[in-house]
Amino acid sequence: MAPALLLVVSCLPAESQTTSDLLNPLFQGILAQPANFNNALQYATQAPASDIESAISTYEQLLFYNPNLASVRFELGVLYYRLGSYEMARSYFDSALKMKDITPALRQRSEDLIADIDKKLQPDQFSGYVQSGFRYQTNAALGPAAGTVLASGKIFNNTFAARPDGNWFGAFGLNYVHDYEQQNGNTFEASAVGYDAQQFKLHQFDIGVMELRAGPRFGIMSDTVTGLSIKPYFVATGATLADAAYYGGLGGGLTAHIKLGDASLDPYAEIVQQSFRNLTLYPLASGMNGTLSTVGLQASGPVYGSLGFQSRVTYAHADATFNPFGYNAYADDVWLPWNFSPLGDGRTWTLTPTAGVSWWQYNAPDPTINPFTTPDILEWRLGLGLEVPIWKLLYLGMLAQYRADVSNVSAFSMHDFSVTAGPTMRF
């Protein structure tokens, strides 16, 4: 009896029902008059933001009506891609390419996404970037103004005072994923990031950094939740300063990956043992030796239209051999990549405003700088990046950044404006 009653309820007029889709006249229109394809089209174009499967159903209905349309096939490819079914997405993109009405822009996007899918479907997947170029900074030292007077009445060492300089730099980022092709999605992941800058004049600030991270990722609760995984990892970092070995860090961490619709959350916690080497120009560096513990959250996803976001929020605690060098730090950075195609050829330009703030609270006054005041530094960062596609994987990357440190200890206050430009290859 109950099922019959429920079925009767399902046939009641829309006004008496509370489920939004049953109140949706477009959905009711499809049920009542499916041949009204303008109604179906309107429903499909409104559905994707909140309901991928409804959009799929409706576009597949339209594909029944006309299987020759590249745009319908492309749209279905996009929707299956968003569902994570890359094989279905690929079959639709492939078939879109075979349609006579495909436009150059749609062909370009289809080919780009097929290339991306082909990478995702490989057991061994590589992605990354290589970049080179020039950078000009108004304050290459990231130091205070020349002539800054310390609490002791002495003058800040001019070798490290604010001075402009340019540099040549090279940078790369490489991500590797090995997919074990198991139901739970277990993978092994590794990434490397490198940066090297050679100053034109101020060689005491020549710096090179390399960081490696690697670890296995385990899909968990895959029988109840999709897209949840955890990854223990190790991290190793090395840096040179003034062309001499300066810093090494070794540690590990644990991160999780959570999918919430189109957004991703990656909380993490890591501990790194830091070791600094005293150099002629940096005789006090070993005082910073100690443990750096960090907890953070990285997130990314769409915002609106073609605007996306990536963000990172962290809290870090650094122990140091010399207690005044230890600190607690809070930091937040946001990137807002906005994709657009001003030439209408399907190739995507990316404009990325960035903003960040950090707050360092040091453990104790530094007797050589100011024996009476515990340093407290608030840093603001603003930037604007632009990537312009040049040819295939090659882009021209440009970045303008402003950074200002405000501190209760004058030696720690500084500001710097930098402009970076150079070719970038993304793969």
Partner 1 sequence: MAPSRRFIVALVVAFSSALLAAASAAAQQVGTATAVNPLSESTPPGGATAPLVVGAHIVHKEKVHTTPAGTVQLLFTDKSTMSIAPNTDIVIDEYVYDPNANSGHMLVSLTKGALRFVGGQLSHQGEASITTSAANIGIRGGTVTVVQGPNGVKVINVSGIIKIVNGAGTFLITRSDFGALIQGWNTPIHDLGRIPTADVAFYQAHTTSTFGENGGVPGFKGANIGHCGLGSVPSANCPQVPWMPSDGGQLDASQILGNATNFGAGQITPPPPPPRRNPGR
* Residues 136-195 close enough to bind partner 1 by CB under 8 A: 141-143, 150, 152, 154-160, 169, 171-173, 181-185, 193-195
Cβ closer to partner 1: 44 or 215?
A: 44
Least distance to partner 1, CB of residue 267, Å: 19
8 A C-beta contact, residue 325 and residue 317:
no
Residues 272-291 that bind partner 1 (CB under 8 A): 276, 279, 281-285, 287-288
- Closest to 120 measured CA to CA, from 76, 77, 79, 85: 85
Task: Return the beta strands (E) in 363-427 as ranges.
Answer: 376-391, 394-407, 414-426
Least distance to partner 1, CB of residue 358, Å: 9
8 A C-beta contact, residue 122 and residue 96:
no
Q: Give the DSSP H or E segment for 354.
A: strand 349-362
- Angle value at C-alpha 72, between 69 and 73, nearest 5 degrees: 85
Least distance to partner 1, CB of residue 290, Å: 12
Q: How many CA atoms lie within 13 A of 132 on its CB side?
A: 2
Spell out, one character per residue from 304 to 323, where the chain touches partner 1: x when CB under 8 A holds, - when not.
Answer: xxxxx-x-------------
Backbone φ, ψ for residue 172 (5° rounding): -150, 155
Least distance to partner 1, CB of residue 313, Å: 15
Total residues contacting partner 1 (rule CB under 8 A)?
161
When asked if residue 11 is in the footprint of partner 1 (CB under 8 A), the reply is yes
For partner 1, which stretch binds (CB under 8 A), given 203-211, 251-259, 265-273?
A: 203-211
Judged by CB under 8 A, the residue of 26, 39, 74, 187 near partner 1 is: 74
Distances (CA, A) of 345 to 99, 386, 427: 18, 18, 20
Q: Which residues contact 294 (CB under 8 A, 6 or more apart)?
A: 253, 268, 269, 270, 271, 272, 314, 315, 316, 317
Judged by CB under 8 A, the residue of 1, 19, 372, 391 near partner 1 is: 19
When asked if residue 29 is in the footprint of partner 1 (CB under 8 A), the reply is no
Judged by CB under 8 A, the residue of 25, 232, 302, 367 near partner 1 is: 302
Least distance to partner 1, CB of residue 128, Å: 8
Residues 321-360 that bind partner 1 (CB under 8 A): 325, 335, 337, 339-342, 344, 348, 350, 352, 354
Judged by CB under 8 A, the residue of 25, 104, 115, 203 near partner 1 is: 115
For partner 1, which stretch binds (CB under 8 A), given 99-107, 250-258, 265-273?
A: 99-107
- Beta-bridge partners for 128: 174
Least distance to partner 1, CB of residue 344, Å: 5
Judged by CB under 8 A, the residue of 97, 230, 385, 419 near partner 1 is: 385
Judged by CB under 8 A, the residue of 22, 265, 295, 388 near partner 1 is: 22
- Closest to 366 measured CA to CA, from 411, 413, 330, 414: 411
- Closest to 408 measured CA to CA, from 358, 362, 367, 368: 362
Distances (CA, A) of 359 to 55, 65, 271, 291, 332: 45, 60, 20, 19, 9
For partner 1, which stretch binds (CB under 8 A), given 252-260, 265-273, 418-426?
A: 418-426
Distance in angstroms (rounded) separating the CA atoms of residues 195 and 383:
19
When asked if residue 81 is in the footprint of partner 1 (CB under 8 A), the reply is yes
Identify the residue whose tokens are 């080919």.
111
Distance in angstroms (rounded) separating the CA atoms of residues 333 and 355:
6
8 A C-beta contact, residue 165 and residue 137:
yes
For partner 1, which stretch binds (CB under 8 A), given 113-121, 252-260, 265-273?
A: 113-121
Distance in angstroms (rounded) separating the CA atoms of residues 24 and 47:
11
Residues 392-411 that bind partner 1 (CB under 8 A): 397, 399, 403, 405, 411
Least distance to partner 1, CB of residue 269, Å: 19
For partner 1, which stretch binds (CB under 8 A), given 23-31, 251-259, 265-273?
A: 23-31
Residues 212-251 that bind partner 1 (CB under 8 A): 219, 222-224, 226, 237, 239, 241, 246-247
When asked if residue 197 is in the footprint of partner 1 (CB under 8 A), the reply is yes
